[in-house]
């Protein structure tokens, strides 16, 4: 019996399912059906885009699912995953391509970025370079999807996000040598203290931005998956999670700084348990001392180097907030006009 795969979760999780789905389509069933429960637009960058249907698609069951075995994939509940023996791409591969006893090589991404999104990224990067007077650009994603604003504080119960004071210090030091583009949907209360551009770009435009930048710095979140997929050098800082699961230790262009390793991290496997004591233990995994902050800064500048000056365009602010110029691309067969956002 043919199969239909239901994919849910956050953007990074959805992206990591795509290589295995592409393999399944190419080698097993060219007509495979994928049901998207969120982040539809990510499939537009893949060869399976015409096999994907939004969960709200009219007559989906009658037209596409009735004669198939329906499978909802849960890689987080695989033994190899929660014992740190495979990453998310490998876990999806084992589930989709039916080899749960052997851990496969990590399949490559084959992102097909639209010309529009590449142009958006190129134009924004060039604009930021000129306004900052630098010839290198670093994209910095300091906050994970679990982060939220509480007054003057940014709180992340999942222990994956940078602390605000560290964001300020890192941005301040990096901006002496390179232009910095901040990848965040949260308006950090002290953003006026940081010499960084904060564009309101959609998820596909960020793909174009990271493709065109020189270096990526971030936490356990979407941006580092983009950096890996686009062969972009990166520094990834890990707190409550494990690099073996959520990042790419075998990527020679990645510098992974595992803060949680020596800070008493307690594993709290997502979608298996909700242990509030573990969350409380892990909430400070990403709070760093001066030495740790310097180590992060050095890991970036050792690769980027000291940027040369370029002609600076005079502006009212050093680097203005850049506004979104395009609404998110929607999956063509979806009835809804906005993708659902799900937690990791």
What does the pLDDT read at residue 158?
A: 87
What does the pLDDT read at residue 317?
A: 36
What does the pLDDT read at residue 217?
A: 98
Residue 96 in contact with residue 22, Cβ under 8 Å? no
The CATH number for 115-304, chosen from 1.50.10.20, 1.10.10.10, 3.40.50.2000, 3.40.50.620, is: 3.40.50.2000
Residue 228 in contact with residue 152, Cβ under 8 Å? no
Provide block-wise average pLDDT over 10 residues at a time, the chain (344 residues).
Answer: 96 96 97 97 97 97 97 96 96 92 92 96 96 94 90 86 93 94 85 83 97 97 96 97 96 96 89 87 92 97 75 39 35 35 42
What is the SS3 assignment for 167? helix
Q: Where are the domains of the chain?
A: 3-96, 115-304
Q: Residues 61-87, buried b or exposed e (16+ Cβ, 10 A)?
A: eeebbeeeeeeebebbebebbbeeebb
First to last CA, the chain: 30
pTM score, two decimals?
0.87
DSSP 41-102: GGGGGSTTGGGEEETT-TTHIIIIITTSEEEE--GGG-HHHHTTSS-HHHHHHHHHTT-TTS
What does the pLDDT read at residue 191?
A: 66
């Amino acid at each position: 019996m043919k199969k239909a795969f239901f994919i849910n979760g956050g953007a990074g999780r959805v992206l990591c399912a795509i290589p295995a789905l592409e393999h399944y389509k190419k080698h097993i069933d060219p007509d495979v059906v994928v049901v998207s429960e969120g982040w539809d637009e990510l499939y537009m960058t893949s060869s399976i885009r015409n096999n994907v249907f939004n969960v709200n698609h009219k007559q989906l069951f009658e037209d596409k699912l009735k004669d198939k075995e329906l499978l909802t994939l849960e890689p987080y509940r695989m033994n190899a995953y929660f014992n740190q023996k495979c990453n998310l791409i490998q876990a999806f591969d084992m589930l989709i391509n039916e080899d749960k006893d052997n851990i496969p090589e990590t399949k490559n991404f084959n992102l097909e970025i639209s010309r529009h999104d590449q142009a958006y990224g190129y134009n924004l990067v060039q604009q930021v370079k000129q306004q900052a007077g630098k010839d290198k650009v670093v994209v910095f994603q300091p906050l994970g999807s679990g982060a939220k604003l509480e007054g003057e504080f940014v709180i992340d119960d999942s222990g994956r996000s940078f602390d605000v004071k560290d964001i300020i210090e890192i941005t301040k030091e990096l901006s002496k040598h390179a232009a910095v583009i901040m990848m965040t949907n949260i308006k950090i209360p002290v953003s006026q203290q940081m010499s960084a551009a904060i564009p309101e770009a959609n998820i596909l435009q960020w793909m174009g931005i990271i493709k065109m930048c020189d270096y990526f710095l971030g936490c356990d979140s979407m941006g580092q998956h983009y950096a890996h997929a686009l062969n972009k050098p990166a520094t990834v800082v890990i707190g409550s999670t494990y690099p073996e699961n959520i990042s790419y230790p075998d990527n020679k262009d990645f510098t992974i700084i595992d803060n949680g390793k020596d800070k008493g991290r307690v594993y709290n496997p997502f979608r298996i348990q909700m242990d509030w004591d573990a969350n409380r233990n892990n909430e400070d995994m990403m709070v760093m001392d001066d030495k740790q902050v310097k180590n992060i800064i050095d890991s970036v500048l050792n690769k980027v180097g000291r940027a040369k000056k370029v002609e600076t365009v005079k502006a009212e602010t050093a680097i203005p907030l850049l506004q979104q110029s395009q609404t998110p691309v929607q999956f063509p067969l979806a009835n809804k006009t906005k993708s659902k956002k799900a937690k990791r």
